[in-house]
Amino acid sequence: MNENTNYTILAAVRNMLKDVDPSPFTRPALDRVHLRIEQFIEDLLLESIRSARRQQTDVVSPVHVDLATDVVFLRRKRKIYSFLGSLGGIAVGAALAMTVEFTSGQGSWSSNQAIAALVMATAGGIAMTIQLLRE
C-alpha cells in the first residue's frame, strides 16, 4: 500500500475538477466544493488503507472501501454525539457539585436551585445516555 498511490488518485481528481463549469456556483463556492471533495477522498483513501491493515492484508478490497465509507460518513455524527455527551457530563457534574454543597451543610438551597440541579442532572443524564446509545 503505497502513499504515492493516494497522491496519484488525488492528482487525478484535481485534474478532473479543474475544468468544470462553475455555474450555478460562484468560483469561490466551487473551489470550496473541490476542497471538500478532496478532503473526503483523502479521508476515504486513508481509512480504506487502515481497514485493510486492521485485517492484515496488503491490498485494499471493495469491502475495505465500503467499511471506510461507513466510518467517514459516521465520523461527523459521532462528533455531534460526543459533544452532546460531554455537555451532558458537565451538566451532571454541576448538579452533583450543587448537591454535595447542599448536603454538606455549607449553604442553604432555594427551591429554584433544587429545581435547577434536578433539571441539570436529568438533562445531562439523558444527553449522556443518547451518546452511549449512538456509539
pLDDT digits (tens, 9 = 90+) for 93-133: 999 888 888 887 766 777 888 888 889 999 999 999 988 88
Residues 115 and 83 in one domain: yes
Buried b (16+ CB within 10 A) or exposed e, 109-127: eeeeeeeebeebbeebeeb
Phi, psi torsion values for 89, nearest 5 degrees: -65, -40
Residue 69 lies in a domain: no
Query: Do residues 83 and 122 both lie within one domain?
Result: yes
Query: Do residue 52 and residue 92 come from a single domain?
Result: no
Q: Give domain status of residue 9, yes or no.
A: yes
Q: Are residues 100 and 45 in the same domain?
A: no
Contacts of 74 (CB under 8 A, 6+ apart): none
Task: Decide which of 10, 32, 60 is a domain's last residue.
Answer: 60
pLDDT at 121: 92
Residue 2 has pLDDT above 60, yes or no: no
What is the pLDDT averaged over residues 41-45?
A: 86
The answer to whether residue 103 is domain-embedded is yes
Residue 83 pLDDT = 87
Residue 52, domain member (yes or no)? yes
Inter-helix orientation angle 111-134/62-103, to 10° = 160
Per-residue pLDDT, 4 = 63
The total number of structural domains in the chain stands at 2
- pLDDT surpassing 70 at residue 5: no
Query: Residue 32 belongs to what domain range?
Result: 1-60
* Residue 109: closest CA among 93, 98, 118: 98
Is residue 78 within a helix (H) or strand (E), and if so which, with residue range?
helix 62-103
The residue assigned the cell 469491502 is 63
89 pLDDT tier (thresholds 50, 70, 90): very high
Q: What is the pLDDT of residue 135?
A: 64
pTM of the model: 0.52
Higher pLDDT, 102 or 63: 63
Q: Judge if 86 and 37 occupy the same domain.
A: no
User: What does each C-alpha distance from 29 to 14, 24, 73 come to in angstroms?
Assistant: 16, 10, 22
Residue at a domain's end among 60, 83, 107 = 60
